[in-house]
């Protein structure tokens, strides 16, 4: 069953649903806190869906639509960079993907993964919020 996306534009406000993948709860917490519920006056995160495994991401994408995926490239045993590349190549309806890389110099890995955006560890809340807003718009 596919549920329609929660994206809604009302009076300039864009409501988005975000799938967040990391095997590390503290990383998921840092992303949610860094982005917040309203990363800009015109973007509101209406729903967060968290996954700790790659199969969980695939199942969630079969059951619901998301406006943005945030995938942790440092997740184990299957990282978000490989998962991003797989989703970009296998799903015609793949939403924009923001990947979290291990270091600032790992931008080439994000390019290989076909990600739409990248934020390196250590996670900067302002960079996370800006990347989410850019991809949501």
Q: Does residue 50 have a pLDDT over 50?
A: yes
Separation of alpha carbons 22 and 100, rounded Å: 9
- Is 1 domain-assigned? no
> Containing domain of residue 132, as a range?
8-136
How far is residue 77 from each of residues 6, 10, 81, 89, 92, measured CA to CA in Å? 31, 40, 12, 20, 25
Confidence of residue 39 (pLDDT cuts 50, 70, 90): very high
Stretch 43-61: mean pLDDT, rounded?
A: 98
Residue 2 domain-assigned?
Answer: no
Is 54 a residue whose pLDDT tops 50? yes
Q: What is the CATH number of the domain that holds 42?
A: 3.40.50.2300
Q: Is the pTM of this model over 0.85?
A: yes
Number of domains present in the structure of the chain: 1
Q: Residue 16 belongs to what H/E stretch?
A: strand 13-21
């Amino acid at each position: 069953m596919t549920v329609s996306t929660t994206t809604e534009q009302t009076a300039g406000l864009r409501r988005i649903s975000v799938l967040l993948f990391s095997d590390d709860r503290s990383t998921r917490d840092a992303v949610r806190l860094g982005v917040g519920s309203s990363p800009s006056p015109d973007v509101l995160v209406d729903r967060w869906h968290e996954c700790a495994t790659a199969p969980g991401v695939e199942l969630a994408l079969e059951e619901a639509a998301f406006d943005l995926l945030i995938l942790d490239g440092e997740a184990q045993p299957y990282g978000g960079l490989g998962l991003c590349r797989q989703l970009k190549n296998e799903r015609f309806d793949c939403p924009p993907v923001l990947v979290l890389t291990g270091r600032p110099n790992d931008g080439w890995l994000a390019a290989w993964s076909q990600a739409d955006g990248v934020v390196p560890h250590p996670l900067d809340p302002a960079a996370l919020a800006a990347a989410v807003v850019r991809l949501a718009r």
